[in-house]
């Protein structure tokens, strides 16, 4: 349950960061120092798919060294750039000291799992705008501190509107960061592996992000846990869509927020219609669309897995028997972690 311990530590850090909006006071250095001291030993214990990755000692950069072993996959690098704006310093300190990028579960699992022509560099930085993007020329997936701040504020509004707690705000932040960084990682994979995309790439990487979240579940999270986090990611699209669209919006490479929301709902529901029926009965997905979602979800998942499978590093390839045994082991642990059989 290392991941749950990390989430607990991150919750403490989030309360501190939220001092900007009146939740606490991050600037109390003694509390921050105690948090870092507690987080680093646990961070060192987090494992990817096969092996433990040693933590780096650099103050402003945490980098994964690409191993010489050819059977292993390509490891990512991680960097936290000091912001110019003093207002963003608390966000930078929280992200760097907790090593937030490395603790996003799906990024952690992909690190070293695939063979790529070069590493993907995950960078947190000040961008001057709310954004996250893939810089093709450098192979960088950039998470802007401004985006983290926006998600913290949206999470606070979400909690206030739904009568939740600070943990719910943390869940909103982490769920959206997981989906967002997988979306941008999808752009990187399409570029680096020259993967075909017959439709709009933005829609394709939304599908890939959802597929990876539904497929790379860990023993610490049940499939219902993942579905609930995807629901929170879908909420972001509605929260940022005011419905006032001009021609430039419709011409953009991204689908409008409401379309992305329903596409995500369709993939979640289609992954297990019986289990996630409440997505339809509560009106989050129109019944007319839901009728086609099971086949749509299976087709998308099957297509992406066929594209990714040849790029899995030899060290991590499993026989059919090994794959079944691994899935059964994870499912047994998931049952132990599951509080309810259906998503509320």
pLDDT tens for 244-298 read 666 665 565 567 788 899 999 999 999 999 999 999 999 999 999 999 999 999 9
pLDDT tens for 213-222 read 988 766 678 8
pTM beyond 0.85, yes or no: no
Q: Residue 325: which pLDDT band, with cuts at 50, 70 and 90?
A: low
Domain stop point among 151, 172, 187: 151
Mean pLDDT, residues 133-157:
94
Instruction: With respect to residue 226, please indicate whether it lies within any of the assigned structural domains.
Output: yes
Please tell me whether residues 2 and 147 are part of one structural domain. yes
Helix, strand, coil in percent for the chain, rounding step 5? 60, 5, 35
Domain count across the chain:
2
Please tell me whether residues 125 and 219 are part of one structural domain. no
Domain stop point among 131, 151, 171: 151
More confident residue, 52 or 3: 3
Tokens of 284: 């989050």
Query: What are the beta bridge partners of residue 77?
Result: 63, 121
Please tell me whether residues 219 and 310 are part of one structural domain. yes
Average pLDDT, the chain: 77
Distance (Å, rounded) from C-alpha 296 to C-alpha 266?
Answer: 8
| CA distances (Å), origin 100, targets 11, 57, 108, 209, 308 | 12, 15, 11, 18, 25
More confident residue, 168 or 269: 269
pLDDT tens for 44-103 read 433 333 333 333 333 344 444 444 445 889 999 999 999 999 999 999 999 999 899 998
Instruction: With respect to residue 95, please indicate whether it lies within any of the assigned structural domains.
Output: yes
Please tell me whether residues 206 and 141 are part of one structural domain. no
Helices 89-98, 145-162: inter-axial angle, 10-degree rounding: 90
For the sheet with 77-80, list strands across it: 61-63, 77-80, 121-125, 140-144, 132-135
Q: Let me know: does 176 contact 182? Beta carbons within 8 Å.
A: no
Distance (Å, rounded) from C-alpha 62 to C-alpha 117?
Answer: 21
* Inter-residue long-range contacts of 278-285, CB under 8 Å, 24+ positions, other chains counted: 278/342, 278/343, 278/344, 279/343, 284/231
Mean pLDDT, residues 125-147:
96
Q: Let me know: does 157 contact 99? Beta carbons within 8 Å.
A: no
Report the pLDDT value the prediction gives residue 34, as an integer from 0 to 100: 38
Please tell me whether residues 254 and 147 are part of one structural domain. no
For 4, the domain range is: 1-151
Report the pLDDT value the prediction gives residue 207, as an integer from 0 to 100: 94
Instruction: With respect to residue 188, please indicate whether it lies within any of the assigned structural domains.
Output: no
Q: In the chain, pLDDT over 70 holds for what percent of residues?
A: 67
Instruction: With respect to residue 179, please indicate whether it lies within any of the assigned structural domains.
Output: no
Report the pLDDT value the prediction gives residue 317, as an integer from 0 to 100: 85
Q: Which of 118-122, 157-161, 330-334 has the highest mean pLDDT?
A: 118-122
Tokens of 323: 């794959």
Report the pLDDT value the prediction gives residue 68, as an integer from 0 to 100: 46
Q: Which is nearest to 141 in space by CA: 168, 173, 181?
A: 181
Q: Which is nearest to 106 in space by CA: 93, 120, 117, 96?
A: 120
Q: Which is nearest to 197 in space by CA: 332, 271, 290, 300?
A: 300
Considering only CA atoms, give the Rg of the chain: 20
Report the pLDDT value the prediction gives residue 215, as an integer from 0 to 100: 83
* Dihedral (Cα; 298, 302, 303, 309), 10-degree rounding: 160
């Amino acid at each position: 349950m290392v991941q749950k311990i990390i989430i607990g530590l991150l919750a403490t850090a989030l309360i501190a960061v939220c001092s900007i909006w009146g939740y606490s006071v991050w600037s109390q250095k003694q509390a921050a120092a105690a948090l870092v001291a507690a987080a680093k030993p646990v961070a060192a214990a987090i494992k990817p798919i096969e092996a433990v990755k040693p933590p780096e000692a650099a103050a402003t950069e945490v980098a994964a060294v690409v191993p010489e072993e050819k059977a292993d996959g390509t490891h990512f690098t991680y960097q936290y750039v000091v912001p110019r704006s003093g207002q963003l310093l608390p966000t930078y300190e929280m992200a760097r000291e907790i090593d937030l990028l490395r603790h996003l579960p799906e990024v952690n699992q992909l690190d070293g799992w695939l063979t790529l022509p070069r590493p993907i560099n995950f960078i947190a930085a000040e961008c001057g705008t709310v954004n996250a993007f893939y810089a093709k020329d450098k192979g960088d997936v950039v998470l802007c501190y401004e985006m983290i701040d926006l998600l913290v504020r949206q999470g606070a509004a979400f909690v206030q509107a739904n009568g939740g707690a600070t943990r719910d705000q943390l869940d909103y932040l982490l769920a959206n960061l997981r989906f967002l960084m997988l979306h941008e990682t999808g752009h990187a994979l399409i570029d680096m592996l020259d993967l075909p995309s017959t439709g709009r790439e933005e829609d394709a990487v939304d599908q890939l992000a959802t597929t990876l979240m539904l497929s790379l579940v860990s023993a610490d999270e049940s499939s219902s846990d993942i579905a609930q986090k995807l629901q929170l990611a879908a909420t972001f699209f509605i929260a940022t869509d005011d419905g006032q669209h001009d021609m430039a919006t419709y011409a953009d490479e991204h689908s409008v927020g409401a379309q992305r929301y329903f596409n995500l709902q369709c993939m979640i529901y289609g992954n297990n219609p019986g289990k996630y029926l409440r997505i339809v009965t509560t009106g989050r997905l129109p019944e007319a669309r839901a009728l086609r979602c099971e086949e749509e979800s299976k087709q998308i998942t099957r297509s992406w897995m066929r594209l990714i499978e040849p790029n899995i590093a030899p060290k991590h390839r499993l026989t059919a028997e090994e794959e079944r045994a691994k899935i059964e082991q994870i499912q047994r642990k998931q049952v132990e972690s599951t509080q309810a059989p259906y998503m509320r």
